[in-house]
Chain A
Amino acid sequence: MHTTRRDLFKFIGGSAVGALFTPAPWRLITDTALWSENWPGIPRPARGEIKTKFTNCALCPAGCGVRARCVGEQPVSLAGVASHPLSRGALCPFGLAGHHLPYHPERVKAGDAQGAAAAVREAVAKCAGNERIAVLDLRPGRTASWTYRRALAGVKNGLYVAAPQPLGGWAVDLAKARTVISFGVPVLDGWGTPGNVLQARANFRLVQVEPVQSRTAILADEWLQVEPDVAAATAIVKERAANGPVLVLADWPELLALNQPGETIAPRQEAPVPDSWKTAAPVTELSDVPNASIRALLIDESVPGAYIPWSEIETKLVRDNPMVVAFGPSRAGYGRHARFTIPTPVYPELTDDIPPAVDCPGTAFRVSAPLLPPPGGVVSPADFIAGLGGLDAANALRERADAIHKSGRGAVFTYADAKSTPVKELQPDDFWKALNEGACWIGNSATMPARSGRGPALPREPRPLGSGHQDSGFTVVFTGSQPGLLVSPILSKLYQESNLRLARNGAVLHPDSARSCGVEDGSRAFLETPLGQCAVEVALDPSVPPGFVQVAAGPEVLDICGASLRARVVRA
């Protein structure tokens, strides 16, 4: 048989066509795809023994119970603790991704702690009689707060300054309210203990009074889209008081004072502390500190808490070369203004306790036990400040737990078995062990004071309501504040890959407002006040009324706004 070149080509062509009808090419594609799935650039999840650990979330004062699914010792997902008496099984989106915080790209992992200690000691030595060495605690009421107070009692001219507490230090009892009238408070958007608020929601009528359509306004029974002055706000409250106990939530003292102590509010109670701690330095509010009197200021922002605009702090510092040390996981907060930023452990590496939230009328004590060891180079602010005062506070949490146990009050709810055990039935070691393995101590419920009792303590400088539009610019409305300086990078699902929440540098305007200041959807602009300016990215939303700008309450924006609620939007 004579084979020609044509036969050869026919054979090759026929083989190629025939191969298409065999499984070979499809197998080749599948194998290639499988191989590409194992591309070396794609991380492989670690495998190991699956364990369950329990702790309490330290990202906000709610302190929700947390069930962590761990591979070996590494937490890979977090969930709420079902049947938790305070958090009711809920966890907010920030808490659900809290185990990512140790790996945040903006986290600070090294700082000059020795240099800071030397500088503070030098400042103490130089401190004149009318000057102070102060600690600013953004989340007071913790055991660490007591450590600061005890340490400062032993420091020359030591001063303990606590950030203002919501509702002037009073707690609310949502279960007793029939009507909740909220003046711009994000009741259904992370306020209080979210799980508790959502469970109590069925029993009260919610009236939301605010000019911008917030999440809470959307879900309220009644949304009053107004910016009332004090008289109008008081009228709104009195009109609805006939339907049963009313709870008024607001940032303004005149409105807070409309609450009747004994009905829906009660003084916040603190868990017992050892008697020996009671000689600690007193609690001072920043507004009570004389201007230009703080020589050295140590700011604890290691756990998320209230943010005080820098301009309010700066006026309290001495004019010549004040020394500011910020303790935090990032330089995004007060670290921008401090001489030293000392890195601290972040949740879930830190060991801290969580005082009761604003919607917890009783006493409670929870420990955020670490799920991961902190890296080398981070410093606990409590250890640092205790060292300045020559105090050994390494066992402060244990001492506090022993004091609670000694009181014999209340019961401890353990997460692993969902059981509540009276404290009296436990040995001190068992109580301490339970707290560290995921538990919540709940003391006796608050005893409501008499109806004629004193109302919430009022801030010294009330912020005017309905101040009108005296100057040019927009009324600033804050929304969607994130807990603390760091949030998990996965939260980009909410503010970059969707528009569900406002990014830290986002500003939302009505299309007419945007037109008036020459900005467009997605354009860069500056938010400008007499205190400064910060860059924002503009989004348009017709649900924001003309004349308002909605911004996320990040440190940069809060710093430039200060006490003012007016800002201009300037095209970049």
Chain B
Amino acid sequence: MIAENRKNKTARYAMAIDVDRCTGCGACMVACAVENNIPPAHEGATERKGITWIRVFKVNSGPHAAFVPVLCQQCGEDPPCVHVCPQQAVEVDPATGIVGQMPERCLGCRYCMAACPYHARYFNWWDPEWPAGMEKALNPDVAPRMRGVVEKCNFCHGRWHAARQRAAAEGKKEIQPGDYVPACVEACPAGTIQFGDLNDPASAVAAASKAAGSFRLLEKLGTEPKIYYHSRRDWVRGIADAPQPPMGKENARG
């Protein structure tokens, strides 16, 4: 949307995820890994030690089930991970509202992982390795991270930079909606994920954030996440409050 309609000049990028549309295919997870040069699993990696910046969980409630993509929730002004980082390796970009991680500053203390209520941060337990030759297929816009640092979703910040460069080359001062889209949004075959600027009242994501049936995960914590979920089903909306898993075990499958 045109800049005049915006509340202010900075953006506040956000996502709206329609849980009712997600088919659980995993295209978002694969597209994310390809875009951000996340290596294939080390032999010893499990669902606890693996790196998936976005992960689709299968959530069961009796005979019903739903697929819920979970990624860094891009908390508001004062994210817990920013608060606890002794290295200032996490910060909120005032121009975009994106909570960014700078691996070159990270000491690997993992305080941020402990502080994140969404378990959306991942530690590099091993050096990144690709099968011989596959390193040729790495994305040149993203640097691979080393062992011993934490990483997480940054809304494909490399794409934001590329969009800014393109806009500048075309003589534009701002990125137009649609010019910057994270890889998971682009890859979703079901159109489950919408992406845009919350400060643009005309954007689809701003409308979706206010729609009936919209909810955010663990809203009671006051982290002000910028990932909005939507479902018409009451029990799906109920998972936002993180009730105790019925099996007493986290992540039974999915």
Chain-A contact segment, one of B133-141, B194-202, B214-222 = B133-141
Given A103-B131, A498-B50; A45-B29 close (CB under 8 Å): no
Give the bracket for the number of chain A residues in contact with chain B.
35 or more
Q: Are A47 and B140 in contact (CB under 8 A)?
A: yes
Q: Are A76 and B25 in contact (CB under 8 A)?
A: no
Q: Is A37 an interface residue (CB 8 A)?
A: yes
Given A215-B24, A490-B33; A499-B254 close (CB under 8 Å): yes
> Nearest Cβ in chain A — how far from B115, in angstroms?
21
Q: Are B25 and A190 in contact (CB under 8 A)?
A: yes
Given A104-B131, A499-B251; A493-B30 close (CB under 8 Å): yes
Q: Are B52 and A103 in contact (CB under 8 A)?
A: no
Q: Is B92 an interface residue (CB 8 A)?
A: no
Q: Is B132 an interface residue (CB 8 A)?
A: yes
> Nearest Cβ in chain A — how far from B69, in angstroms?
10
Q: Is A507 an interface residue (CB 8 A)?
A: no
Q: Are B33 and A500 in contact (CB under 8 A)?
A: no
Q: Is B40 an interface residue (CB 8 A)?
A: yes
Q: Is A313 an interface residue (CB 8 A)?
A: no
Q: Which of B31-54 contact A (CB under 8 A)?
A: 31, 33-35, 37-38, 40-41, 45-47, 49-52
Q: Is A188 an interface residue (CB 8 A)?
A: yes
Q: Are B128 and A198 in contact (CB under 8 A)?
A: no
Chain-A contact segment, one of B2-10, B77-85, B99-107 = B99-107
Q: Which of A490-545 contact B (CB under 8 A)?
A: 490-494, 496-501, 508, 539-543
Q: Are A218 and B189 in contact (CB under 8 A)?
A: no
Given A93-B29, A218-B66; A489-B132 close (CB under 8 Å): no
Given A97-B34, A100-B137, A542-B247; A500-B254 close (CB under 8 Å): yes
Q: Is B55 an interface residue (CB 8 A)?
A: yes
Give the bracket for the number of chain B residues in contact with chain A.
35 or more
Q: Is B240 an interface residue (CB 8 A)?
A: no
> Nearest Cβ in chain B — how far from A80, in angstroms?
7
Q: Are A498 and B23 in contact (CB under 8 A)?
A: no
Q: Is B160 an interface residue (CB 8 A)?
A: no
Q: Is A283 an interface residue (CB 8 A)?
A: no
> Nearest Cβ in chain B — how far from A272, in angstroms?
31
* Interface hub of A46, A48, A219 (most chain B Cβ within 10 A): A219
Residues of A within 8 A of B135 (CB): 43, 45
Q: Is B225 an interface residue (CB 8 A)?
A: no
Q: Are B127 and A97 in contact (CB under 8 A)?
A: no
Q: Are B26 and A500 in contact (CB under 8 A)?
A: yes
Q: Is B203 an interface residue (CB 8 A)?
A: no
Q: Are B26 and A103 in contact (CB under 8 A)?
A: no
Q: Is A102 an interface residue (CB 8 A)?
A: yes
Q: In whole angstroms, how far apart are the Cα atoms of A261 and B206 in the complex?
A: 47
Residues of B within 8 A of A79 (CB): 31, 186-187
If A43-B135, A494-B29, A499-B251 are given as contacts, then 18 extra A-B residue pairs at C-beta distance below 8 Å, sorted by A number, are A42-B144, A47-B140, A74-B137, A76-B137, A76-B139, A79-B31, A90-B189, A93-B25, A96-B30, A103-B133, A103-B136, A218-B66, A223-B63, A225-B63, A489-B40, A490-B34, A493-B38, A498-B50
Can you identify 19 A-B contacts, CB atoms within 8 angstroms? A33-B104, A33-B106, A42-B144, A42-B146, A43-B130, A74-B137, A99-B137, A103-B130, A104-B131, A189-B23, A218-B66, A490-B40, A491-B30, A493-B40, A493-B41, A496-B45, A498-B29, A499-B253, A543-B60
